[in-house]
Amino acid sequence: MKSVLKLNSISHLADKYFENYNYVDACDNPDGIMLRSFKMHDYEIGSNLVAVARAGAGVNNIPLDVMSQKGVCVFNTPGANANAVKELVICALLLGSRKIYEGITWAQSLSKDEDVAKLVEKGKSQFVGGEIYGKTLGVLGLGAIGAKVANIAIDLGMDVLGYDPYISVDAAWRLSRKVKHEKELSALFAGSDYISIHMPLTNDTKGIINKETIASMKDGVCIINCARGELVVNDDLKEALKSGKVSRYVTDFPVAELLGVEGVITIPHLGASTPEAEDNCAIMAGRQLTDFIETGSIVNSVNFPNLKAPETFTHRVTIVHKNVPYMINFATKPFSEAQINIDNLMSAGRGDVGYMILDTEKEVPQSVIDELEKVDGFLKVRVIK
């Protein structure tokens, strides 16, 4: 029986996918791993491990380069928590526009006064804020979450500018036609009263909100970050708050240097913290992980190419390899020498990683697998059946 290790607590709704597995909280050398926020950078990767499934979108807690080198497929669950994050972004938008947080904090301080109602009427003017209706929201990144934020902002009566140089066809179909797609980031910055960030953290996007980009924004802009804290240079942001260039910064990623800073509202990373989101992510992660283990099909991998194989097969071998020329030739040669006909061969590549699925009617002997494992550039050879 194959083993799947839970490195975090996972919604019980994923259990149904692991009824035929040893699905445990402790295991020395699992075949698969389910996790949420567990940091795997120092985790020792066992020889049996073929896949890791992250019940969430971000994968910065997983060493993708190391996983790829060892032939381990990493999955995430894009869109599964999108509604939960979208709702928090709308809350952040209102917190950034109206002085709701400050007003609530002040009201709590009146608990010892007898005539609270009178004090409230007298003191509420200090918490006056603006409406979002008719204002312009700039959305950086139009994936599953960004598209939902853009669409609901349209429904709330806002004008919306969107920026995403890598927008997919599916994402474009989901996006309201009223969203204006800006081709230049500078145009979005210059035209937005509010900016909501929904980009992944990469070498290209790290610190994308910085002294230079802030300078190109409208005076008094409100910035919302429910994506990743490292997308914003905090020191530059604090200077912009002092000068009034930025009116508010609402972030779902509290760090020490932002706590107590005037104009900063820190939310304790609640973006996907709903039972519904955790259930959705667990279900998607469980389905993707078991599908890969049992059939070799890949959907929503962040380091391997997506490759959907037929669910019906007699015998199947999969090969993770370096994405270089002649790999297919090296793969088919041992089959030919063993006089085994390959009935179906599927292949795809992504960056430095290539992936093959080979189906046969005849059972593949260990001698063929041994020859495949000797090939320089083959990272992991696996017999599915």
Residues forming the active site: 228, 257, 269
d(CA 305, CA 185): 29
32, β-bridge pairs: 4, 51
Task: Reduce the DSSP state of residue 195 to 3 states and report it.
Answer: strand
C-beta separation of 381 from 319 below 8 A: yes
Q: Phi/psi zone of residue 314: left (φ > 0), alpha (ψ -120 to 50 degrees), beta?
A: alpha
Q: How many CB atoms lie within 10 A of CB 344?
A: 12
β-strand partners of 75: 53, 301
Instruction: State the DSSP code for 126.
Output: G
- Residue whose pair of structure tokens reads 């799947």 in the numeric block: 4
Q: What one-character DSSP code corresponds to residue 182? A: -
Place of tokens 């990743």: 228
In one-letter notation, the amino acid at residue 123 is G
d(CA 296, CA 318): 7
How far apart are alpha carbons 51 and 32 in whole angstroms?
5
Neighbouring-strand partners of residue 320: 355, 380
CA gap 368, 335 in Å, rounded: 7
Give me the amino acid identity at 149.
V
As given in the structure block, the two tokens for residue 87 are 């709702």
8 A C-beta contact, residue 16 and residue 249: no
Dihedral angle sign, alpha carbons of residues 237, 239, 241, 246? negative
The helix/strand count (H/E) of the chain reads as 12, 16
Q: Where are the alpha helices (DSSP H) in the chain?
A: 64-69, 82-97, 100-108, 116-123, 144-155, 169-174, 185-191, 211-215, 234-243, 275-295, 327-337, 366-373
